[in-house]
Amino acid sequence: MNILFKSILLVCLFNLLAACVSLRGTGDLGVVIERATGSVQIVETTNATILKRVENLGDLSHASIVYSRDQRYAYVFGRDGGLSKIDILKGNIDHRIIQSGNSIGGAISQDGKLVAVSNYKPGGVKVFDSNTLDLVADIPAVYGDGKQLSKVVGLVDAPGQRFVFSLYDAGEIWLADLSQGKTEITRFKNIGRQPYDGLITPDGRYYIAGLFGEDGLAVLDLWHPEKGVNRILDDYGRGSKKMPVYKMPHLEGWAMTEDYAFLPAVGRNEVLVVNRRNWKQLASISVHGQPVFVMARPDGRQVWVNFAYPRNDTVQVIDTEQLQITKTLKPGKAVLHMEFTPRGEHVWVSARDEGKVTVYDTDSFNAIATLPMTKPSGIFFTSRAHRIGL
């Protein structure tokens, strides 16, 4: 009896020890923003479960995340200027600073050593050491007579240790080169009125800014910045009718397959199909509402679309070969974001006002898991760590 007891105790102790030193990777982890409570949920995608909640992250009403290249740390950019570095293995805040009064997004450099944040107030970009969050560079977005500061949007990383971003109030695109240990800025003026968001193509070559104040898109070829900013898709935008837009489409969600780019139309219930070689529109697909995110499954065979208020309870799937809607799903009220698992067998869909994230099998369209969360919004998996512009 005594021996049995002792051996049980020993096994227990061993288990405890094993639990303490058990190792795991982070390649199947992710973070979901709970926008209303200033918290995030650390999740894992292999079994589709919640691991841990992290709180006290401030105003997360338009929060986004980038990952360190070792995929251990998530940098959370909050609306209130908060920059938080979360250790997703330990499930706690490693470091947190308030770096401005009002910010909108961020990016991590090619080498992973710099984290940049774009700010509304005071308008500009601040660059931090990704390890310590010490300030490395401060780039005020001055324009006009030099006294005004512009809100900065569409900040992305580009190859060559560069960051690219747009000045909403000034109508400019700036290219910041930090490769030489100092900050060298190239300014592109008069690129169009009110750029509201930007994206970089997955190969890191083209930076594209969407314009709120006029139709068309501004494009900067980063292989040839000396050629300046050009215009593509002159009809892209709200057109002459100026339909009301209740939620501006996100450009980061632009789906690119080998031949086509799928773009959310602005103010119209359409997804536009564009030839990637010459940027000419090939087709438009009628969809359920005004599209917000138009995202390609990693293999490019499907494009998933969510919609603006008030038609935001639905997600539609477009077959990229037939250019037709093949599935309409109703994940619930206020679908805000979608994220594919690294190779696309599942997609996670957040429904803010339902308080849940639904995980769908992208082949059968069956819901394979439902995870309760508080007002979930953005979903970010660690596979983003190794993709340019994310």
140 Cβ neighbours under 8 A, 6+ residues apart:
122, 123, 124, 149
Residue among 80 and 345 whose Cβ is closer to other proteins = 80
Residue among 120 and 206 whose Cβ is closer to other proteins = 120
CB of 233 to other proteins, least distance (A): 19
Residue among 62 and 327 whose Cβ is closer to other proteins = 62
- Tell me how far apart the alpha carbons of residues 296 and 386 are, in angstroms, rounded to a whole number: 17
CB of 256 to other proteins, least distance (A): 25
What per-residue string of b and e applies to 290-305 under the rule 16 or more CB within 10 Å gives b?
A: bbbbbbbbeebebbbb
Task: Give backbone dihedrals phi and psi of 11, rounded to 5 degrees, phi first.
Answer: -60, -40
Residue among 62 and 276 whose Cβ is closer to other proteins = 62
Tell me if 305 sits within 8 A of 287, measured CB to CB.
Answer: yes
Helix (H, G, I), strand (E, B) or coil at 45: coil
CB of 243 to other proteins, least distance (A): 9
Task: Give backbone dihedrals phi and psi of 307, rounded to 5 degrees, phi first.
Answer: -130, 165
Spatial CA neighbour of 188 closest among 222, 235, 156, 238: 222
CB of 377 to other proteins, least distance (A): 9
CB of 63 to other proteins, least distance (A): 10
Degrees, nearest 5: CA angle 134-138-139 = 150
Residue among 230 and 374 whose Cβ is closer to other proteins = 374
Residue among 120 and 188 whose Cβ is closer to other proteins = 120
How many other CB atoms are found less than 10 A from the CB of residue 3? 7
CB of 143 to other proteins, least distance (A): 17
Residue among 28 and 313 whose Cβ is closer to other proteins = 313
Please say whether the dihedral angle defined by the alpha carbons of residues 22, 27, 29 and 30, taken in this order, is positive or negative: positive
Task: Output DSSP code: residue 6.
Answer: H
List contacts with other proteins (CB under 8 A). 35-36, 59, 61-62, 79-80, 102, 104, 120-121, 151, 153, 168, 196, 212-213, 244-248, 309-310, 334, 352-353, 375
215 Cβ neighbours under 8 A, 6+ residues apart:
234, 235, 236, 237, 238, 239
CB of 200 to other proteins, least distance (A): 21
